[in-house]
Structure 1
Amino acid sequence: MAIIGVMGSGKAEWPDLSVPLGRWIAERGFDLLTGAGLGVMLSTARAFSTTDGRKGRSIGIMPSEAHPTLGFAPLPGYPNPYIDLPILTPLPRKHPDAPDDALNRNYVNVLTSDVVIALPGSQGTLDEIQLAVRFAKPLICIGPANAFEGVPPGTRIVSELADVYAFVLAKTGAFEQL
């Protein structure tokens, strides 16, 4: 089944969007991929993981830091408790002063996802949106249009979850059973 990547704020949960989205992804049997942190990542993973009868897994791509004996260790607070499959990479979060082509865990988030859904966030979310466009990943943004200033021209931004659901179903070849 497809891996649906949900990107967004590491601080704000955007529950009106993230909770129904997480449940919907779980109810359809998809796997959920997030950055394993707080905010949208936590809220979506919590909704996904607490949905009765789900079949998919919540996957979390964790940023890391050097560790003297382990080599690398997840940053404090990672993964959130709703991640079934935490994946530790030797890649850090993208630092604000890092060049655009600096390798970071956002590459893994985007390249592993079959479809990328972006909720409002900050620079990390914008970086993931730009990577999705760069690597031609199916991408849709959900939320107020002004929350996505700076996205590449032509990026699809919607305000209704129904549009996101239809997009995911079309891009994954899945269909809605009545």
Structure 2
Amino acid sequence: MAIIGVMGSGKDEWPEWATPLGTWIASHGFDLLTGAGQGVMVSVARAFASTPGRRGRSIGIVPSEAHASRGFVPVAGYPNPFVDLPIVTPLPRKEVGASDDALNRNHVNVLTSDVVIALPGGRGTLDEIRLAMRFAKPLICLGPVGAFEGVPPRSHIVQSLDRVQAFVLAQTGRMEGVGSGSAPP
């Protein structure tokens, strides 16, 4: 079962894109991977978890903080309630000003995903887009073109859920037709 990583804002949910995407991922039997937080992560995971008959799991890569007796514990507010399988990593979030080679939990998000779908987000999302390109992970960005300022020039940005569906099916070797539903143009 392929793991579809959805990256995006930790603040803004972008429900017009994330909700139909989460439903589609669940209805096609994929596993969903997010950063286990709020914003796009909770929006896509909520839709995924509430899809009747889903077969996949919602995986969340949880940021942590050091704990004196337990080693590392999830940062407050993580994981969101729609994560089936939380994975606590001692890797930090990418710090402001950290080099592109500095290891952080974004590496786990990207390297664990078979396909990466980026919705609009901030510097963390931009880092995940760059990592996906660096490690040759299939990557597609979904949302308004203006919301992806600063992405590398070769980034594939679309405004249609149908195009994302076709991309994911092609990348995962699925021969079935594209599902119904689409995001705003």
What TM-score do you get using the length of structure 2 for normalisation?
A: 0.94
Shift of 1:7: 0.1
Local SS of the residue matching 1:132: helix
Within a 5 Å distance, the mapping from 1:78-117 to structure 2 comes to 78-117=78-117
Which amino acid in 2 is paired with 1:2?
A
Q: Which residue of 2 aligns with 1:153?
A: 153
Any unmatched runs of 5+ in structure 1? none
Alpha-carbon distance in structure 2 between the residues aligned to 1:114 and 1:158: 19
Superposition RMSD on alpha carbons, in Å? 1.0
Matched, 1:119 2:127: no
Shift of 1:146: 1.2
Q: Which residue of 2 aligns with 1:139?
A: 139
Alpha-carbon distance in structure 2 between the residues aligned to 1:176 and 1:35: 28
Alpha-carbon distance in structure 2 between the residues aligned to 1:148 and 1:23: 23
Alpha-carbon distance in structure 1 between the residues aligned to 2:97 and 2:70: 27
**CA shift digits 1:110-145 (9 cap, x unpaired):** 000000000000000000000000000000001111
Shift of 1:16: 0.4
Which amino acid in 2 is paired with 1:65?
E
**CA shift digits 1:25-69 (9 cap, x unpaired):** 000000000000000000000000010000000000011111111
Deviation >4 Å, runs of 4+ = none
Which amino acid in 1 is paired with 2:152?
P
Percentage identity across paired residues of the two chains:
72
**CA shift digits 1:57-87 (9 cap, x unpaired):** 0000011111111111110000000000000
**CA shift digits 1:4-27 (9 cap, x unpaired):** 000000000000000000000000
Question: Which deviates further from its counterpart, 98-107 or 28-37?
Answer: 98-107
Shift of 1:100: 1.8
Q: Which residue of 2 aligns with 1:73?
A: 73
Any unmatched runs of 5+ in structure 2? 180-185
Matched positions, count:
178
Shift of 1:176: 2.2
Which amino acid in 2 is paired with 1:8?
G
What TM-score do you get using the length of structure 1 for normalisation?
A: 0.98
Question: Which deviates further from its counterpart, 111-120 or 146-155?
Answer: 146-155
